[in-house]
Amino acid sequence: MKKLVITIDGPAGAGKTTVSKALAERLQYRYIDTGALYRGVAYEAKAKGISPDDGHQLETLCRDLELTFVRNEKGVRLFSGEIDISDYIRTPEMSMMASAVSAHPMVREALLGLQRKMGAEKSAVFEGRDMGTVVFPQADVKFFLTADLSVRASRRHRELEEKKSPQKFEEVEKDMARRDTNDSSRAVAPLKPADDAISIDSTQYSVEAVIELMMKHINEKI
C-alpha cells in the first residue's frame, strides 16, 4: 500500500486528536501530535520561569530541549529528556502558553526540523495547526477539521471534567475564542486551511462519520 503523509489541522476542540488517533489506527500509521511539542516547550518555559513573551530565552530553551514521543502501555507519551510530561501539558494554562510560545519564529523553526524528520518515513498522521501549510506543504492528503465554537467549547469542557480539572463552560468558551483569535491572527504560520486542504465541519458528524469521509479521500490516493 502506498505510504502517505496525512495532515489534520484545525482549531482547538474540533476533534483533531480523537479523529487523528482513530484514523492512524485504521491505517496502521503513526500518530504524531505536533501540538504536544509546543505544549512541551510551554511546560518547560514555565518550569524554568521563562516568560512566553521572551523570544531570546525561548530560543535558548529550544536548543537544549529533548522532546520525544514514546509508545508504552499508556499509549503515545511525550517525554522531555527522561521525564514523561504528558499529563502536565493538558491544562487550560498550558493551552494558552502553547499558543503564545508558538507565535515566536525561533520556536517554530526549532520544532520544524524535528517534525519533518518524523515525517520522512511517511505512513504518519500529523495533527496540528500548520501541518498542511508550513510543515508539510507537499503532504499527500490534507484535512482541515473545524466545528462551531459552542460545540468545540462543550467538548473541551467535558474533557476537563473527565480529567478532574473542572472549569466553567463560559470560561472555556472565552479561552477558546481568544486562542482562535491568537492562532489565526499571528504573523508567523497563522491557523488557516491550506489551499488544497479538504475542509470538514464536524459539528453535526460523529467521529466514525468523519473517519469514513476522510477514508474516501485517502483511498483515492492509495
Per-residue pLDDT tens digits for 135-194: 999 999 999 999 999 999 998 888 888 877 778 999 999 999 998 898 888 887 888 999
- What angle in degrees, to the nearest 10, is found between the helix axes of 169-185 and 92-101? 10
pLDDT reading at 72 higher than 90? no
Provide the pLDDT for residue 12.
87
pLDDT at 133 over 80: yes
Whether the full predicted model's pTM is greater than 0.75, yes or no, is yes
By mean pLDDT, which of 53-57, 95-99, 161-165 is the weakest? 161-165
The average pLDDT across 93-104 equals: 90
Cα distance between residue 80 and residue 63, in whole Å: 13
- Output the CA angle 34-35-36, nearest 5 degrees: 85
Average pLDDT over residues 21-48: 93
Residue 116's pLDDT band (cuts 50, 70, 90): very high
Mean pLDDT throughout 131-138?
94
Task: Report pLDDT for 103.
Answer: 86
Q: Which residue has the cell 467521529?
A: 207
pLDDT of residue 91: 87
Separation of first and last alpha carbons in the chain: 7
Query: How far is the C-alpha of 77 from the C-alpha of 82, rounded, in Å?
Result: 11
Q: Which domains, ranges and CATH numbers included, belong to the chain?
A: 5-209 (3.40.50.300)
Q: Residues 6 or more apart from 195 whose CB is under 8 A from it? A: none
pLDDT beyond 90 at 216: yes
The residues, any chain, with a CB within 8 Å of residue 110's CB and separated by 6 or more, are 59, 62, 63, 65
Q: Pull the grid cell for residue 202.
A: 464536524
Identify the band that residue 13 occupies on the pLDDT scale cut at 50, 70 and 90. confident
Distance from C-alpha of 19 to C-alpha of 44, rounded to nearest angstrom:
28
Other C-beta atoms lying within 10 Å of the C-beta of residue 138: 7
pLDDT band at 113 (very low <50, low <70, confident <90, very high): confident
